[in-house]
Chains A and B, each alone.
Chain A
């Protein structure tokens, strides 16, 4: 997971929010892990009205202007990646 391009950090949590693995900016960042676990629980409870009732959502992304957090849940583990977002390039006419 370390070798993904533009990746600033990575956090792997179990379903209770305990850190299993981490690196980069998110190294042992239990604070961010805790907030994301709370967000997933809030989102899961309500399904948010997304069409596919069975699955709810597959991916949660939290976007800032220069970076983003991408969150996926797989096999009862929570994968969080912090990635750099390249600024939108200007279109030259």
Chain B
């Protein structure tokens, strides 16, 4: 499974605008991080995705988006795994 995740992350990193990808498990342990994504943030990112799921229980897992002038951070949880993608606006 590790190789598949790694392959997926590497594929994502080649997408336009993507500057970082982080993948964490249910407990917030960082499985992989590439580019600007810092593995120190994996706990916070997982915690954020858990909190967002409690917003509207039963409505599925939402996508959380943080934005500032120059970059975006998208966080999504699926089957307990949290994926964070960092993008630049340019």
Instruction: Report the number of A-B residue pairs with Cβ-Cβ less than 8 Å.
Output: 85
**A43 at interface by CB-CB < 8 Å:** yes
Which residues from chain B contact A43 at a C-beta distance below 8 Å? 44, 48, 66
Give the complex CA separation of A54 and B62 in angstroms: 27
- A60 → chain B closest CB, angstroms: 5
Chain B interface residue count, Cβ-Cβ cutoff 8 angstroms: 30
Give the complex CA separation of A61 and B37 in angstroms: 20
Within 49-93 of A, Cβ neighbours of B (below 8 Å) are at 49-52, 55-65, 69
Given A38-B51, A39-B52, A42-B51, A63:B63 Cβ within 8 A: yes
Within 45-71 of B, Cβ neighbours of A (below 8 Å) are at 45, 47-48, 51-52, 54-56, 59-60, 62-71
**B5 at interface by CB-CB < 8 Å:** no
Which residues from chain A contact B69 at a C-beta distance below 8 Å? 52, 55, 58
Q: Are A49 and B36 in contact (CB under 8 A)?
A: yes
B interface vs A, CB < 8 Å?
Answer: 20, 36-38, 40-41, 44-45, 47-48, 51-52, 54-56, 59-60, 62-71, 73, 86, 88
A interface vs B, CB < 8 Å?
Answer: 32, 35-36, 38-39, 42-43, 45-46, 48-52, 55-65, 69
